[in-house]
Amino acid sequence: MDLSIELATPDDAPAVANIRVRAAEDLTERHGAGHWSSLATERSVLSGMRTSKVIVARMNGHVVGTLSLQTRKPWAIDTSYFPPARKPWYLTNMAVEPGEQRNGIGRALLDYARELVVEWGGDAIRLDAYDAEAGAGEFYARCGYTEVGRATYRVVPLRYYELRVGSWELGVES
């Protein structure tokens, strides 16, 4: 597998939107309509690039996966469920091309995100996953993330996860 992972540019916005749409449509087909059914647009991806770092995974030159990282807390995350952190980053909008799932792309994206967050001085990666069949919570747990709580936010049942990185990984509070 010829996989490369890097920060996205505005030129990647159409491909990122397409991956997110295909992943949402796949979840909807397999699990029925839900909050996971909302469809991204090129415009929404470009807007997100102003407040977050979008990462893409490419296989043979084609975008096959994506996620976003930001320091601004997303609307659905309740920080009272998380232990204190000096500089947490929030992971959102993760999607892998449905036909390429279970091939290590998602894990590679998470590994790259961890490396970047450490490089940027972060000490934790936080995220939420749907507390439903369509949710990816078990995937995050297999990748080393710890579930820190469950909540319902605006009628959406969620599971909160965190990965401690940098000096926290070594048990050192610098």
The CATH number of residue 126's host domain is 3.40.630.30
9 belongs to a structural domain: yes
What pLDDT is attached to residue 174?
43
Query: Nearest to residue 32, comparing CAs of 159, 133, 152, 157?
Result: 133
Domain count, the chain: 1
Range(s) of the domain holding residue 63? 3-168
174 belongs to a structural domain: no
150 belongs to a structural domain: yes
| Residue with token string 């605006």 | 154
69 belongs to a structural domain: yes
108 belongs to a structural domain: yes
The answer to whether 147 touches 141, Cβ cutoff 8 Å, is yes
What pLDDT is attached to residue 171?
53
One digit per residue, the tens of pLDDT, for the chain of length 174 reads: 699 999 999 999 999 999 999 999 999 899 988 888 888 999 999 999 999 999 999 999 999 999 999 999 998 899 999 999 999 999 999 999 999 999 999 999 999 999 999 999 999 999 999 999 888 999 999 999 999 999 998 888 999 999 999 865 545 454
Query: Nearest to residue 164, comparing CAs of 84, 107, 75?
Result: 84
91 belongs to a structural domain: yes
123 belongs to a structural domain: yes
What pLDDT is attached to residue 25?
94
80 belongs to a structural domain: yes
